A and B are shown apart, each in its own frame.
Chain A
């Protein structure tokens, strides 16, 4: 894995301090004390994270083997894997899992493409560039709950919303975007929120482009597009990867936007896994089943995350070589 190469490269960059011998000196690099100096500062954060984020999952696993309806006291009993059987035979759960993937990938991809385009548009001096950038990053700063509310009410409202007013001449009339196209409506809100993030990243990437290379390419007579494809895009690659991975990390857990805009509806047409599990737990009060769904989701996430993390590790090892 590229990860070990990475740390290797850090050490190799400074070979003088690397002790060649495995034996432990009493003081200095490699000593037992040195090890604790290195490891000690890590422990508080590590222990804190383990306690707060990992222990609850152990409870979740335990609950997933119970049949337990919260509003039906005395109903708690051990049922083994029954909850998992229900989860896997629940067609809604499969639909919702698919939604999760579509919403996440769709939003990340569109936001990245738009973010790239907007960043290129801003990567030149023009009057008011700072103001335009300020305007553009605002959606990322807005509290998602507030952002979702804006979209749900003043933008998408079928009668009083701005979207239908603007699209009225094109025959939108009183289209009810949120119930006719719930997933699209959510993707629009999420893309609106995350495009600025992608743009900022790409803009940072563009700014760090070595000018000499660009100049050299132009002197060689390359066209604008060729320069972009051959020089800029490869340079941006790790910024794009970083944006996709970070965006996906946050977007896969989207809850507030769905909660505020559609409540997962109509039906479960726009519910993603976090929202559906929340509904099972806090509307259905079916603790056992929602826990089982949680466990399934966690396992699926770990598999996907492992793949995604390979990507991020590659980005980072590249970043550290700069």
Chain B
């Protein structure tokens, strides 16, 4: 026993040493390694953003901002879209103060502004010299404003949707893409271009559950077929003939000519398949063009043509969606004091101002410039040159998208590929799960829509109740 006690004692002193070290960490009030290495007196700004490439570029370039503003240190929380949305919404809605700035879209902005969760950005923009608010694309600017007309988030990029197609394959097969294709024509092309022996699918369409995934393109198809989620009295319309026809069309098209694994394919998976040459067409966001034309990632650079979002014979209104990732400041930041808001705004304005676009163009290449948010982007000569294949189509699609009047028949909601009501995140997700299961072949379209209709009815009833009370 006594012989063993010496090393035991030594071991004990090592343990004590470790504990002392830990106590030092406790006393220093260290909240996490992310806080290490801060200069004295620096103000930390924490930004939650979605991990899309344009945002990754912004993170990569952010040391320049820090160099210009040595008293501000940036911390990014970069998450995939679904996760970012869950986290940001939970944080802002419960008054969690982890984030000084959050990336949200034109879905959240008007609602959250209404709830009083966001800081009014108009005064901050007005006080920033050279920050040209009127330069924002008008359709996007209005989509990011509250009912008071004030802007509550600033767009980082804007997007609509269009149809990308392989010019080489079309030429090979002797096909021509019309200037304004219809979905029927697209289905015909897809059918002809599918070649399973060569591992090539006719078209890539999203099937991944999520209101921001499969529901986005599918909603534009529903709109194109003249369908709608609700009539003006909030009666759910998901089992109407128009919606049935549209969804059946979409599901059939995917099952016959879509890529393998379509039910799990979102933007990312479709992008991989299309850029690796495994699909002849791809209907998706206009920002996809930056990926398709990037020689580092894509095998099909220069072979892709861009056509407007397909319509139908019955309804030739522009059918592209409207979406913008934008930056907003939650009210909880204002509660930390005006200095925190100023520091946060300093970064937000840096990231959304004109010089940033120059910076990205020069450092990351002109195809990487975040598109759609500012009209002046389309006046930069280098950008026009680099993006000649798709920039005009992008700009046209964004300016034509009308989120106030998205459908052929009147509706009580706004939003093209979403419904701007708080219940939609949940409703859209649940409906998308049903439809994704139909795409996977686990149930029929009718079964999926029956279930979806049930969900929609419940939400519709709550609005009917409210309106009943109001009248």
Question: What is A's interface to B at a CB cutoff of 8 Å?
Answer: 69-73, 92, 157-159, 174-176, 178-180, 262-269, 279-280, 282-286
Taking CB atoms, residues of chain A closer than 8 Å to B436 are 179, 265-267
Q: Are A71 and B422 in contact (CB under 8 A)?
A: yes
A178 close to B437 (CB less than 8 A): no
Q: Tell me whether B433 and A268 are in contact (CB under 8 A).
A: yes
Q: Chain B: which residue is nearest A161 at the CB level?
A: B261
Chain B residues with Cβ under 8 A from A284's Cβ? 425-426, 429-430
Given contacts A159-B278, A267-B209, A267-B442, A69 and B264 within 8 Å (CB-CB): no
Scan B248-271; emit 1 where CB is below 8 A from any A CB, else 0. Answer: 000000000001111110000000
Binding site for A on B (CB under 8 A): 82, 85-87, 89-90, 93-94, 111, 115, 199, 207-210, 259-264, 273, 278, 422-423, 425-426, 429-430, 433-434, 436-437, 439-443
Please give me the residue from chain A that is nearest to B436 by CB atom.
A266
**Most A C-beta atoms less than 10 A away, residue of B93, B94, B261, B278:** B261
Residues of A within 8 Å of B111, CB to CB, are 71
Distance between Cα atoms of A285 and B207 in the complex (Å): 23
Q: Which residue of A lies closest to B441 (CB)?
A: A180
**What are 19 A-B interface contacts by the 8 Å CB criterion?**
A69-B422, A69-B423, A71-B89, A158-B259, A159-B199, A176-B263, A179-B264, A265-B263, A265-B264, A266-B207, A266-B437, A267-B434, A267-B436, A267-B437, A269-B437, A282-B87, A282-B89, A283-B429, A285-B422
Provide the residues of chain B in CB contact with A174, threshold 8 Å. 199, 260-261
In the complex, chain A residues whose CB is within 8 Å of the CB of B208: 263, 265
Are the CB atoms of B264 and A266 closer together than 8 Å?
A: yes
Taking A72-B423, A174-B261, A266-B263 as given, write out 17 further A-B residue pairs in contact, using a Cβ cutoff of 8 Å, ordered by the A residue number: A69-B422, A70-B90, A71-B422, A92-B430, A176-B260, A176-B264, A179-B207, A179-B263, A262-B264, A263-B208, A265-B433, A267-B209, A267-B442, A283-B425, A283-B429, A285-B422, A285-B426
Contact among B86, B259, B442 with A283 in the assembled complex (CB-CB below 8 Å) = B86
A158 touches B261 (CB 8 A): yes
Chain A residues, CB < 8 A from B86: 282-283
User: A70-B93, A266-B439, A285-B89 are contacts. A176–B261 as well, Cβ < 8 Å?
Assistant: yes
Q: Which of A72, A175, A286 has the most CB of B within 10 A?
A: A72
Specify which of A175, A263, A279, A282 is in contact with B90 (CB 8 Å cutoff): A282
A283 touching B426 in the complex, CB below 8 Å, given contacts A70-B90, A159-B273, A179-B263 = yes
Q: Complex Cα distance A73/B93, Å?
A: 8
